[in-house]
Structure 1
Amino acid sequence: MSKQKNMTGQIATLKKVMHYLKHYIPILILSVVLATVTVALTLYFPILTGRAIDLILDKGNVDFPGILAIAKEGVIVIGITAAAQWIMNMCNNRMTYNIVRDIRRDAFERIEHLPLSYIDSHSHGDMVSRIIADVDTFADGLLMGFTQLFTGLATIIGTLLFMLFVNVKITVVVVLLTPISLFVAGFIAKKTYSMFQLQTQTRGEQTALIEEMVGNQKVVQAFCHEKEALGQFADVNDRLQKYSLRATFFSSLVNPSTRFVNSLVYAAVGITGALAVILTGGAFSVGNLSCFLSYANQYTKPFNEISGVVTELQNALACAARFFELIEAKEEEPDAADAYQLEQADGTVDIDHVYFSYVPEQKLIEDFNLHVQPGQRIAIVGPTGCGKTTLINLLMRFYDADSGHIQVSGHDVMHMTRHSLRKNYGMVLQETWLKKGTIRENICMGKPDATEEEMIAAAKASHAHSFIRRLSKGYDTEITEDGGNLSQGQKQLLCITRVMLCLPPMLILDEATSSIDTRTEIRIQKAFLTMMKGRTSFIVAHRLSTIREADSILVMKDGKIIEQGNHDTLLAQNGFYATLYNSQFDQG
């Protein structure tokens, strides 16, 4: 059953590969034609060699003019063969790497359109492994397939025709022994596919672990987790070694096994050919035998090559199955054709009887209701896991509510384009993100056409201008991936500057000053007050002292609003908020 499933899976994967190949049919046809030309001329050369041998009639009796004419013809044949083979290889390389480019483009494009639920639930390292390592392995197998499969098949067919032309009986001997080689190669190929599947899966697991540990090395060392990390890596590494060894072992059996069968074929041709020379009294000449032995060698050689190609293709198809799984992952539900374009939100937000949970059996937000007036500052507080960040995800449509309605400016967010909705929000998160590039490019990400004056004004407002000036090249300073050469506080200042430059009508600040010193935070809070003036703002905060000025504070617990009001009102109620607030000042 599993063998049949593997075979079905391979055929399905091969069809998907053919879908990419169909865009390069002209190059494929040219490659096949050139392969045919290469094989035909390669097979013609032994005939010239046989004729030259037959012109050596006896000792001192050699037809030199005839041999010279054959030599000239041989040079022309070799020259044309070399040129055809070079162009064929160029075509194969172009096809392979164009297909690889298309696959990587589609995979990356699919990631950009996948719902966040998929990204959150899959290992990022494994996804990287599929797009980089698996596609590279697939490319190697595909290139070998194009290079050797066409020429191998053409050589087998062409050699058979030439051998039939020279001697039918000896050709029959060769054909009868051929199925043994095919049976051996086919038997081993079936065994290798499952091994290569395990190898590629484990390689993805290893990439994910390495990315996780390298990206969080400070935490690993701070908590003395090195030994456990090494243990995890050793376990994955050992499994990869075991699966790779098995896959390589089975695949390496193919070549010597087929070579053994091919040697039998060569020996059989040599014996039957020698007997034919003796028994036919010269009708089957020594030159013909030399030509036939050359053909027998060329006939069996492609079986070695094809068996190697089959092994590589097994590995390539196992890798292809993994990245096609990513490419075919269900993308985010597209916007309706008639979806509303939200040009400029007035700041009104209505949440009506919303229910949502990440996992159906684990309830989170239930019957959530909220009405926000334009320009209101709404603070969201509560214990960890109460649904604060989930509410932000729903507002931005990173996730869609299971039921209920969320409206912005009187329009249901489910009926408007995600792009226009998100363009009306400015977002600063606790987790900062900066792309590799200049500080200027990072600040102007949301507004590429911003002027120098606008950019500097935004940086001054966020108090980032002073530290940017001190950098080696100011705003043109290159920063590494995720701002690795900046402090956490500096990265957060740049993220705040990015929002201040765009200043959309609605703001989301999720612990936006968590990595900034107290003195700078006070100044930024003042800047925020200026920025939030006239804009609807949602502020997620753990330090409750930062939200005293909010118009309304939502106190959440277990996905529900349990208290609502301004700071003074909630303190006077002496409820859950008052307990949270006082606990921050009762420590120590």
Structure 2
Amino acid sequence: MSERQQGTAIPAQQSGSESAPKRLPGGGQRGGPHGGMGMGMPAERSLNFLPSARRLMGRLRPHRLHLTAIIALAVVSVGLTVIGPKVLGYATDLIFTGVIGQQLPAGTTAEQAVAAARAAGNHNFADMLARMDVVPGVGIDFTVLGRVLLLALGLYVVASLLLWWQGWLLNGVVQRTVFQLRAEVEEKLNRLPLPYFDRQPRGELLSRVTNDIDNVSQTLQQTLSQLLTALLTVVGVLGMMFWISPLLALVALVAVPLSVVVTGQIAKRSQRKFIAQWTHTGELNGQIEEAFTGHELVKVFGRQREVEAAFRAKNDELFAASFGAQFISGIIMPAMFFIGNVSYVAIAVVGGLQVASGSMSLGDVQAFIQYSRQFTQPLTQVASMANLLQSGVASAERVFAVLDAEEQQPDPAVPARVSDPHGRVEFEHVSFRYDPDKPLITDLSLVAEPGHTVAIVGPTGAGKTTLVNLIMRFYELDAGRITLDGVDITALRRDDLRSRIGMVLQDTWLFGGTIRDNIAYGRPDATEEEILAAAQATFVDRFVRSLPDGYDTVIDEEGSNVSTGERQLITIARAFLAEPSLLILDEATSSVDTRTEVLLQRAMAALRSERTSFVIAHRLSTIRDADLILMMEDGRIVEQGTHTELLAAGGAYHRLYQSQFQQPVSGDDPVAVPA
């Protein structure tokens, strides 16, 4: 693997230091200068549920006004719903009283009916009559009953409308919160240093900013309203239960601690499974993304079986974690139903005895049974949401890990400006290393004069690409400084610094869109004439004219419908259009044919005129005319000079040049080395 393939100017493609291991399409670990120990690794500690949940809820704070309205609507809606069973209980009492009154002899009083029942030895019936507002001989008053039922219907209709309004407001709050969270993550990614992406597999990072945020949205949407309604219902129903019968209320409350204990024990066991589920989801996404991106490479080397095996292994891990999380948390619902049914039976038995003894009316027992159901239902809902809550908070913690990642050093509050730009670059005793234990560049000093072309050559891993990445300030120096026209690059805003630099890489990167759009990416405000001029100067126009749609040809992000050399030409045209004062060419012509390379050398010569240029090259034939050639080994400049001077010196550059151009000979024939 070439050094150029291990570094690039676009963060999405950056893969770490020049010695960084790459993940194979078969599923090996993507590395960086830190050996691939990124945030995509499985969590070593359990999810800290409560702090993460509080932090997630804290993101709703900017919507206090709407939340206040949501709570008020929920209170009124739940209050009306809670009153409903009591009203229906009164309707039941009207029916029951009418039925009993119709069976009693007309013309007697209620007291006489009670006395007659006691005289007959029917004391339970007498006690029940004593608590009823019965009129002997009078049946059901359907007028009053109709009014009561209409009142109950009105209560439930209004409660439903208020609940719908509350849900509409809550949906707006949740979506705005998630919208802001996505925006913050996007802004955070732009503030993260390049080493973060070195350690982070792209699929894992994509999973965090898509799957995990979607899961947070779903969790907030499905749980907030239900949790609020459930809590208010528990409070309201509990109050009504104690008002109707303290004894039955105590019987119902026995289910609460039992439910809490059961839910807590089950949730504790499912918590670790949910963490593993989302971790494996991110890692599986990373494997899929790499396998699809390197599909041709997988085919060429016949590694389909290895890719499939790696996918199956990770998919099995995800299946096991997901199945375990859902199965364990799914036990909560049956357990809660069982506890609720036991409570229901106990309430029915005790309530029936109280009706028989005259301590309660039948309508109150009916209302209480409804309340007991309303009381256990929110507890069951909360229990059923336990898996969703844990899954959502686990995803939120993964998103928060991105938001909490250490950012790149901020731009200076009062940035310096290059008043007289010429493109003079100076390295002053620069030292840099990816790994603290492995020095890469040590005490490097050099000067690139304005308008000169500086070629950087050397074996793989010598630090060539790192050198230009430091100029771009993709990484921060360990020691020394780099100046641009006498100004320390750390005193400039990154945008200002990079706007002065054009970079053409060996690894091309095209965006989804037309060829015109990709060229114009170098300078969005360029006119059509300027775009065409850049395309003609870099010989893009030559092959674009042969395409059916010309410059409107749509290419995908991988540029699979144009050849590798054509992709390279488009990236060169993009840099040409940007008109930078400092140019960096990193094996920019390695993917084009020999004839095109000759033409491009002329275009690049025109592009480099009056600009300081850094050229990284493996083919030494392309940099013979450079004003200064730097020969690097182990992060140090071991030789510098022109092509002729370095060949005459007979040192490291001469040996490298000889290794490229020596001709194969037979026997003891001398080696032919061109001058």
1:93 corresponding residue in structure 2: 171
Tell me the residue number matched to 1:442.
518
Q: Does 1:335 align with 2:411?
A: yes
Aligned to 1:126: 204
Cα distance in 2 for partners of 1:402, 1:289 equals: 78
Match in the other structure for 1:33: 72
User: For the residues of structure 1 that align with 2:523 and 2:420, how far apart are their CA atoms?
Assistant: 16
Match of 2:225 in 1: 147
What is residue 443 of structure 2 aligned with on the other side?
367
1:55 to 63, 77, 94: 94
SS for the counterpart of 1:334 is coil
Indicate if the aligned counterparts of 1:343 and 1:420 stay in contact, CA closer than 8 A: no
1:129-154 C-alpha deviation (Å, 9 max, x unpaired)? 11111112222222222121001001
Residue 428 (structure 1) aligns with? 504
CA distance in 2, matches of 1:446, 1:155: 60
Pairing 1:402-413 to 2, within 5 Å after superposition: 402-413=478-489
| Change beyond 3 A, Cα 1:262–1:425 | same
1:266 maps to what in 2? 344
1:230 is matched with which residue: 271, 284, 308? Answer: 308
Q: Which residue does the alignment assign to 1:203?
A: 281
Secondary structure at 2:60 match in 1: helix
What is the rounded CA distance, in whole Å, between the counterparts of 2:401 and 2:376 in structure 1? 38
- 1:561 & 1:501 partners in 2: Cα distance? 32
Shift of 1:468: 2.4
More divergent stretch after superposition (292-301 vs 92-101): 92-101
User: 1:46 corresponds to which residue?
Assistant: 85
Note the C-alpha offset of 1:6: 4.6
Supply the distance in 1 between the matched residues of 2:620 and 2:267 (Cα, whole angstroms).
Answer: 65
- Which structure is higher in helix share? 1
The within-5 A match list for 1:343-362 is 345-362=421-438
> In structure 1, how many angstroms separate the alpha carbons of the residues matched to 2:271 and 2:574?
50
SS in 1 for 2:461: coil
Q: Deviations over 1:486-513 (max 9, x none)?
A: 2221211111111111211110000111
Contact 2:509 2:558 in 1 (8 A): yes
SS of equivalent residue, structure 1 residue 483: coil
Letter paired with 2:511: K
Partner of 2:27: none
2:320 paired residue number: 242
Give the aligned residue type for 1:232.
A
For residues 292-340 of structure 1, the C-alpha deviation after alignment (integer angstroms, 9 at most, x for no partner) is: 1111111011111011223311111111111100111011100111221
Return the alpha-carbon distance in structure 2 between the equivalents of residues 585 and 372 of structure 1.
28
Counterpart Cα distance in 1 of 2:599 and 2:256 = 84
Q: 1:147-546 residue pairs with structure 2 within 5 A?
A: 147-280=225-358, 284-342=360-418, 345-546=421-622
> Could you tell me how far apart the structure 2 residues matched to 1:484 and 1:22 are?
47
In structure 1, C-alpha distance between the alignment counterparts of 2:239 and 2:663, rounded to whole Å: 92
Provide the rounded CA distance (Å) in 1 between the counterparts of 2:378 and 2:393.
21
d(CA) in 2 for partners of 1:138, 1:156: 26
Residue 534 of structure 1 deviates from its aligned partner by: 1.2
What is the CA deviation profile of residues 544-570 of structure 1, one whole-angstrom value per residue up to 9, with x for unaligned ones? 111111111111111111111111111
Deviations 1:393-447 (A, max 9, x none): 1111111221012111011112222111111111101111122223222212232
How far off is 1:343 after superposition? 5.7
- Equivalents in 1 of 2:431, 2:273: separation in Å? 45
Aligned in 2, Cα 1:517/1:465: closer, same or farther, shift over 3 Å? same
Mapped contact 2:329–2:386 kept (Cα < 8 A): no
Write the distance in 1 (CA, Å) between the matches of 2:408 and 2:160.
51
Matches of 2:59 and 2:552 in 1, distance apart? 41
Contact 2:411/2:493 (<8 A) preserved: yes
Q: CA RMSD in A?
A: 1.6
Say if 2:46 and 2:275, in contact at 8 Å, map to a contact too: no
Distance 1:70 1:477 in 2: 72
**Which stretch shifts more, 128-137 or 472-481?**
472-481
Greater mean alpha carbon deviation, residues 439-448 or residues 455-464: 439-448
2:148 is equivalent to residue 107 of structure 1: no
Q: Shift in Å at residue 38 of structure 1?
A: 2.0
Q: Which moved more, 1:565-574 or 1:320-329?
A: 565-574
How far apart, in 2, do the equivalents of 1:140 and 1:471 lie?
A: 46
Measured after TM superposition, the shift of residue 344 of structure 1 is 5.6
Distance 1:75 1:246 in 2: 44
Partner of residue 15, structure 1: 54
Range with greater deviation from structure 2 (477-486 or 327-336)? 477-486
Task: Tell me the residue number matched to 1:78.
Answer: 156
Question: What amino acid sits opposite 2:648 in the alignment?
Answer: A
Structure 1 residue corresponding to 2:630, chosen from 535, 554, 574: 554
- Map Cα deviations across residues 347-367 of structure 1 (whole Å, 9 max, x no partner): 211111111110011111112
Q: Report the Cα offset of residue 70 of structure 1.
A: 1.9
Q: TM-score, normalised by structure 1?
A: 0.96
Query: What is the identity, as a one-letter code, of the residue corresponding to 2:554?
Result: E
The aligned amino acid for 2:300 is A
Contact kept in structure 2, 1:509 and 1:539, CA below 8 Å: yes
Letter of the 1:476 partner, please give it.
Answer: D
- Please state whether the residue corresponding to 2:445 is helix, strand or coil: strand
Structure 2 distance, partners of 1:525, 1:163, is 89
Name 2:125's counterpart in structure 1.
none
Q: Deviations over 1:25-69 (max 9, x none)?
A: 222222222222221122222122212222222187322212221
Rg: which structure is higher? Answer: 2
Looking at structure 1, the residues matched to 509 and 55 of structure 2 have their Cα atoms a distance apart, in angstroms, of 36
**Contact 2:481–2:488 (8 Å) recurs in 1:** yes
- Whether 2:659 is the aligned partner of 1:583: answer yes
Q: Secondary structure at the match of 1:375?
A: coil
Structure 1, residues 511-546: CA drift from partner, whole Å, max 9, x if none?
A: 111111111111111011111111110001111111
Distance change >3 Å, CA 302–CA 117, structure 1 → 2: same
Give, in whole Å, the separation in 1 of the partners of 2:604 and 2:459: 24
Tell me if the contact between 2:442 and 2:635 (Cα under 8 Å) persists in the aligned partners.
Answer: yes
SS in structure 2 at match of 1:584: helix
AA paired with 2:510? L
- Classify 1:398/1:344 alpha carbon distance in 2 versus 1 (closer, same or farther; 3 Å): farther
Unpaired runs of at least 5, structure 2: 1-44, 103-138, 665-675
So what's the TM-score if we normalise by structure 2? 0.84
CA distance in 1, matches of 2:639, 2:171: 66
Q: Which runs of 5+ in 1 are unaligned?
A: none
Worse overlay, 369-378 or 83-92: 83-92
Look up the SS of the partner of 1:55 in the other structure.
Answer: helix
How many Å separate the matches in 1 of 2:419 and 2:165? 55
Alpha carbons 1:124, 1:208 under 8 Å: kept: yes
CA contact (8 A) 1:396 1:422 kept: yes
